Structure 1
């Protein structure tokens, strides 16, 4: 019967594989491919927004991020959409008024670029 070592060089097998130079290079390449596809999708839909696609590296992972930090901080709404809502706005004189933020379908930029299923985030029901 075969014996499988659980450690290599003092590291657990999973950790050793995760930090392997070839695995890290492939993660970087895949993240770049996803980011390029996401940027192409975002550019098709961007009118005057500030949203952008970023890649961040963790210890052993790569993250493709839809960021709207420079704009309205609406990355979640861009990805998944939103329902109509009423918000309070303030004009230049400081007078407050109610405004309607229209519903918007999600663009599923990251899901599409990653070939993942498009799932809308549901409402949380409180009982």
Structure 2
């Protein structure tokens, strides 16, 4: 009976195949297409212009990233939406006030660009 070796050159078969030049080139092309679609979708909704679409190489995988320099989960809110929230803020004179941040629907920029189903992460209540 024949035995099938699941390693090639000391690497798992899946990793060996994933690292082949042709596979990596195909991943680069797919990433470029997804990033271009994501950028076009983001431009349709840009308000202040903080969010950007970036690309990055992993050890094997290729990534398209929705990045927002503001932090505070802004990119997450753009992608999946957010519930209304109240934030206590401080004025320059030291007094505090309650700022209401309205709820917003997710734009699903990355999901739509990659032709993936729109799925919310966690619970977001938009009333």
Question: What's the TM-score, normalizing by structure 2?
Answer: 0.88
The Cα offsets for residues 30-78 of structure 1, whole Å up to 9 and x where unpaired, read as: 1111000000000000022300000010000011000002576500000
Match of 2:96 in 1: 96
Kindly report structure 1 stretches of 4+ aligned residues shifted beyond 4 Å.
Answer: 70-73
Aligned residues: 124
Matched, 1:66 2:66: yes
Note the C-alpha offset of 1:121. 1.8
CA RMSD of aligned residues (A): 2.0
* Contact 1:81 1:103 (8 Å CA) reproduced: yes
Match of 1:42 in 2: 42
Match of 2:55 in 1: 55
Mark the runs of 5 or more structure 2 residues left unpaired by the alignment.
Answer: none
Structure 2 residue matching 1:24: 3-state secondary structure: helix
Match of 2:110 in 1: 110
Mark the runs of 5 or more structure 1 residues left unpaired by the alignment.
Answer: none
